[in-house]
Amino acid sequence: MNRWCGLFALMCALPSWTAAQDSATAAPAPQLVSLSLDEALRQARANSPAYRQTLNDASPARWGVRNAYGSLLPSVSVSSDIGYTGSGEANLGSGFIQPTSAFITSGYSLGLRWDLSGRALTAPAQQKALQRATDEDITGAGVALTADISTQYLNALQASAQVGVARQQVRRNEDFLGLAKARYRVGQAILLDVRQAEVTKGTSDVALLRAVLAENQAKLELLRLMGVEPPVAIEHIVLSDSFPVTPPTFQVDSLLALAERHNPVLRSLRAREHAAGLGVRSAKADFLPSLSMQAGWGGFTQQFTNQNLLLSQSLASAQGQAADCQYNNSVRSALSLGGEVPNCFAAVGLVDGGGALLDPVAQEIRNQNNVFPFHYTGQPFQANLVLSLPIFTGFSRSLRLSQARAQQDDADEDVRARRLLVRSDVQARFLGLQTAFQAIAVQASSRDAARDQLRLAQDRYRLGAGTSLELSDAQNAVQRAEGDYINAVYDYHKAMAALEAAVGRSLR
C-alpha cells in the first residue's frame, strides 16, 4: 500500500487552486488516481491472500532439506532429574527392623546417538526435489496471478471503453432529440417522432448508467484480486495503460517448445516425479543393513535428610567393629599369638570408651552426605555400535517398495497427462488468438459500415426523406458495432494473456 500512501500524501501536498478564487465558486474536480498494470501486479504479489498462502510453503520446503541433511548427523540429548524418597523401615530378617532416613537424589545424563541407513542417505536428494517442486508451485501461482490480474485489468479497460461508447450514444440521441424537436416546431415532423427520440434518449441514459456500474464493478474486482482496499472512491481510479494491437507472429512449434521448458505446473510435476523415483530408491534401501551407534555419560547424587540417624547407624556399626577388635585382642593375648590392636576404639573412629564417633570421622560422614544437587558421582562411560539387518518383517518392506513404485508410476502419468493438457491448451489458445485478431478486422469493417449507415440516415432525416425509426435503428446499429469492435480488441488481448499463462512466461 506504499504507493497509495504516497499518492494520498501527494494529493494532500498539492495547493488548492480555489484559494485564489471567490468563495462562491464551484469546488474543484476530484483528484484522479491512475493505476498501471505493472503497479497492479506489484500490489497483487505483495497483498494477494491466495498468492501469499502459496509463498508460505517455501519455508517448510527449505527446512525439509535441512532436516534431511541433519538426519545424517549424530543427535545429542541431555537430561537432568531430581527425586525424593521418604523415611521408612528396613526389615533385616530375624526380627531386626532398622529405620531408614528420607533422602533426596539428583542426576544427569548426556547421550549421543547416530543412526545411518539407506533411507537417511537418500532423504536429502528427495527433499531437494520436493523443494524444487514447491518453488515451481510458487512460480505457477505467480503466473496464474499475472494472468488473473492482466485479464481483469483488461476487463476493466473494456468496461471503460464501453462507457465511452455509451456516452457517445447519449450524445447522438441528444442530437437526434434536438433535431426531432426542431423539425416538429417547423411542421416537418410529427409529435410521434419527438416521443420516439425521447424514448431512445432515455434508453441510452440507462445504458450509460449500467455501463458505468459495470466499469466500477470491474475495478472493484481488480482491487479484490490485488488484495487491497480502494484508496479513493472507485470512480476516481483511472487505469492508465493501453495495449496496441499487433499481428501475432508466433509459431505454434516454438510456443510448444517454450511451454515444455517454462510451464511451471509441468516443471513442478517433473520435480515430483523425480522425488517419487528417489522414493523407490529409499524403499529399496530398507533391505540393506542399518548402523546405529550410542554413547553416554551420567552421574548421580544421594543425600540423606536425617544426618543424626546416619551418624547413629555409623556409630552402631563402629561399636560392633570395636567389640570384634577387643575380642580378637583377648583371644590373641590368651594364645600368645601377638598382633593385638593397640586401641580398638581409635582404629574404628570412636572416642575412648566407644560412646561417640571422633569429630573428624563424624564430619567426614557429614561431608560425604552433603552432595545434593551437584556433587555428582560419575557413572562409567558407555558406548555401543549396532549393525542390524532385518530378515523377515512381515512383508512390510515389500509393501513400502510396492507403494513407492505405484507413486512413481502415478507421478509419471501425471507428467504425461499434464504435458498433453499443456500442449492442447497452447494450441487451442494459439488458434483462439489468431481468430481474435481476425475478428478485429471484421468488426472494424462492420463499425465503419455502421457509421456510414448512420451518416446516411441522419442526412435523409434532415432532408425529410427518412423516418425517425430509420435513424434510431442506425444509431443502435452503430452502438452495437462499436461495442462489438471494442469486445473484439479486448478479446484479442485476453487471448494473448491466456496464451502466456499456458506457455508459462511473457510473450510480449
The domain spanning residue 494 has which CATH number? 1.20.1600.10
Residue 457 has pLDDT above 80, yes or no: yes
What pLDDT does 412 receive? 95
Q: Are residues 270 and 413 in the same domain?
A: yes
Q: In this structure, is residue 380 part of a structural domain?
A: no
Strands 33-35 and 237-239: parallel
> Could you give phi then psi for residue 386, rounded to 5 degrees?
-125, 130
Q: In this structure, is residue 6 part of a structural domain?
A: no
Counting every residue written for the chain, the total comes to: 508
What pLDDT does 99 receive? 82
What pLDDT does 6 receive? 37
As a whole number, mean pLDDT of residues 354-371 equals 87
Residue 304 has pLDDT above 70, yes or no: yes
Residue 379 has pLDDT above 70, yes or no: yes
Question: pLDDT tens-digit profile of 137-155?
Answer: 999 999 999 999 999 999 9
Q: Are residues 167 and 46 in the same domain?
A: yes
95 to 90, 92, 317, 341, 404: CA distances (angstroms) = 11, 7, 18, 33, 69
Q: In this structure, is residue 467 part of a structural domain?
A: yes
Q: Lowest mean pLDDT: which of 5-9, 59-63, 340-344?
A: 5-9
Residue finishing a domain among 341, 374, 407: 374
Q: Are residues 61 and 78 in the same domain?
A: no
Question: pLDDT tens-digit profile of 275-299?
Answer: 999 999 999 988 889 999 999 999 9
Q: List the 377-388 sheet strands across, edge first.
A: 75-85, 103-116, 290-304, 377-388
For the record, the C-alpha cell of 483 comes out as 461495442
Residue 23 has pLDDT above 80, yes or no: no
Question: Percentage of the chain with pLDDT > 90?
Answer: 57
Q: Are residues 366 and 434 in the same domain?
A: no
Collapsed DSSP state (helix, strand, coil) of residue 9: helix
Q: In this structure, is residue 16 part of a structural domain?
A: no
Of residues 292, 338, 326, 295, the one with CA closest to residue 109: 295
Q: Are residues 282 and 163 in the same domain?
A: yes
Q: Are residues 313 and 399 in the same domain?
A: no
Residue 157 has pLDDT above 90, yes or no: yes
Distance of alpha carbon 90 from alpha carbon 101, whole angstroms? 10
Residue 17 has pLDDT above 50, yes or no: no
Cβ burial of 111 (10 Å; 0-12, 13-18, 19+) is middle
Q: Are residues 254 and 274 in the same domain?
A: yes
Q: Are residues 415 and 336 in the same domain?
A: no
pLDDT bin (cut points 50, 70, 90) of residue 92 is: low
Question: pLDDT tens-digit profile of 70-86?
Answer: 999 999 999 999 999 98
pLDDT bin (cut points 50, 70, 90) of residue 11 is: very low
Residue finishing a domain among 374, 409, 435: 374
Q: Are residues 199 and 254 in the same domain?
A: yes
DSSP 221-243: HHHHHHT---SS-GGGEEE----
Residue 179 has pLDDT above 90, yes or no: no
Start-to-end CA distance of the chain, whole Å, equals 28
Amino acid present at 379:
Q
Angle, helix 264-285 to helix 252-262, in steps of 10 degrees: 40
As a whole number, mean pLDDT of residues 122-134 equals 92
Q: In this structure, is residue 92 part of a structural domain?
A: no
110 to 74, 78, 291, 297, 301: CA distances (angstroms) = 13, 4, 21, 5, 16
pLDDT bin (cut points 50, 70, 90) of residue 20 is: very low
pLDDT bin (cut points 50, 70, 90) of residue 28 is: low
How many domains, the chain? Answer: 2
Q: In this structure, is residue 126 part of a structural domain?
A: yes
pTM: 0.77
What pLDDT does 78 receive? 95
Are 176 and 471 within 8 A, CB to CB?
yes
501 to 15, 189, 345, 396: CA distances (angstroms) = 45, 57, 101, 44
Torsion of CA 198, 203, 206, 211, to 10 degrees: -130
Distance of alpha carbon 283 from alpha carbon 304, whole angstroms? 55
Q: Are residues 203 and 60 in the same domain?
A: yes
Q: Are residues 202 and 129 in the same domain?
A: yes
Domain limits at 275? 31-67+120-289+394-503
* Cα atoms in the 13 Å half-sphere on the side-chain side of 28: 13
Q: In this structure, is residue 356 part of a structural domain?
A: yes
Q: Are residues 312 and 338 in the same domain?
A: yes
